[in-house]
């Protein structure tokens, strides 16, 4: 199973109205497998950004100079 596959399965579970045990029985899936993938899904969603900040660049060639002005996206990522 992949995370993408489980996302679809989890959506089906939410729409089913069943409890996890009954849903897993209907899907021939061990509840422990369901809980494992649900935890993986929650971890993945916790690391997704809430939103994106647009970057705007000045296209005026006179506004640029030869000096590099780095943009720090995080403590580990910078654009030069």
Q: Do the domain assignments include residue 19? A: yes
The residue range of the domain holding 23 is 3-46
* DSSP character at residue 79: E
Q: Dihedral of CA 25/30/34/37: which sign?
A: negative
Nearest C-alpha neighbor of 71 from the set 52, 61, 57: 57
Number of domains forming the structure of the chain: 1
CA gap 7, 72 in Å, rounded:
33
With a cut of 60, say whether residue 12 has pLDDT above it.
yes
Question: Which pLDDT band holds residue 55 (cuts at 50, 70, 90)?
Answer: confident
The confidence score (pLDDT) of residue 3 equals 93
Q: Do the domain assignments include residue 62? A: no
CA gap 46, 39 in Å, rounded:
11
Q: Do the domain assignments include residue 17? A: yes
The confidence score (pLDDT) of residue 57 equals 73
Q: Do the domain assignments include residue 25? A: yes
* DSSP character at residue 62: G
On whether the CB atoms of residues 2 and 36 are closer than 8 A, the answer is no
Over residues 34-60, the mean pLDDT reads 82
Q: Do the domain assignments include residue 28? A: yes
């Amino acid at each position: 199973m992949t995370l993408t596959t489980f996302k679809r399965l989890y959506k089906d579970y939410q729409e089913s109205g069943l409890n996890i045990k009954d849903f897993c029985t209907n899907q021939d899936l061990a509840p422990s497998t369901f809980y494992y993938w649900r935890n993986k899904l929650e971890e993945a969603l916790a690391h997704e950004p809430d939103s994106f900040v647009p970057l705007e660049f000045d296209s005026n060639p006179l506004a640029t100079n030869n000096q590099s002005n780095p943009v720090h996206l995080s403590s580990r990522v910078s654009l030069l």
